[in-house]
Amino acid sequence: MSDAYRPRRGTARAPDPPRRGRAPLLLGVALAVCLPWLSSASAQADPGGATPVERAVTPTERAEAPGEPAGASPRAGRGAASAELEPVPDFGANPGALSMFRYVPDGLPSGSPVVVVLHGCTQDAATYVDGAGWREFADEYGFAVVAPQQETANNANRCFNWFERADTARDSGEAASIRRMVEHTVGALDADPGRVFVTGLSAGGGMTSSLLAAYPDAFAGGAVIAGIPHGCASSLPEAFGCMNPGVTRTPAQWGDLVRSAHPDHEGDRPKVAVWHGTADTTVHPRNATESVKQWTDVLGADQTPDAEEQLPDGTTRSEHTDGSGEVVVREYVVPDMGHGTPVRPSEGCGRAGAHFLDTLCSTRHITGDWGLSG
């Protein structure tokens, strides 16, 4: 195990009651912030000929198959997983009023890693875990999956509230709830607290950035997919600007936003990977550039990559190393890809559908970057 993934410092009581009085406000916020997601013309067409957006937002389809993209089987991809994604109702303090789901492969030994997986707007925990292939990879490589789920009482379109400081700050709101889910899982499974990772798409990617900033002592690595830099927005107008056209700041300005999220932290920080499609019009690709600026500044790496590689599908992978020569930031630029998570069903990696785009297997690369695949 590399130094970056050594164990870090890390009991359950009844969940806090759901937050009250926020739904009317957040209804308007959610509709506004998620509208580009719902109407995006940038998503690639799926094998069935319809664009993923067309399938994602039809109310009839959602009513007929809750939590599943229309026409998709629950376990397509690498083969049926042996266990189930199960709800965990009593995981402890829950100031963000989120729901918790967990996938634990049969026979998972103590000391195993944990991966937190955050869905995008209009999705739920099961949709994203299955669509990106996380259950099958958990079975193959031996790790638990924690899948927080946003609820409509918090955000009408189930977007994680990455633009609300009360939900992204350390020990506050949704971020605190997700941290508590991790603590509960590590304790319940005797998992390795030094190998906890987080990834998310879009709004889930924005929340991933904030979790890495607020809890550098809890996560060993993260992967932000079509997401937003931490601290980009703290209001609805700012959220619009962050998504598209994006906000430009200096590396130091971005880095200060991360450092201020936990100013007392003096230990290691998580490695970060940033994924984005060049044809994304929902969350502008500029956000990937700004995220790389943010994390290279925080992690002591040059802005110019130390290595670049063209993957077989045309994706460019850039690597930034710190002073010791260790890769601490990776950027994956996927050509001609719209807004979504890259999957590769033909290679047993997830399934194509709404915001699951058939390009390459991001889940395989992410688990490899984290050292989970051997």
* 202, 209, 291, 362: the active-site residue: 202
Asked about 202 being catalytic, the answer comes back as yes
| C-beta separation of 68 from 126 below 8 A | yes
Gap between the Cα atoms of 99 and 90, Å rounded: 10
Helices (H), ranges, the chain: 23-39, 52-56, 59-64, 125-131, 134-141, 165-168, 173-189, 203-214, 236-243, 251-259, 286-299, 362-369
The DSSP bridge pattern shows strands 144-149 and 99-103 to be antiparallel
Q: What does the block give as tokens for 237?
A: 């107008």
Residues across the chain: 374
Q: DSSP class of residue 311?
A: -
Instruction: State whether residue 287 is helix, strand or coil.
Output: helix
Q: Which residue type does 184 have?
A: H
Pairwise CA distance, residues 241 & 79, whole Å: 41
Name the residues annotated as catalytic. 202
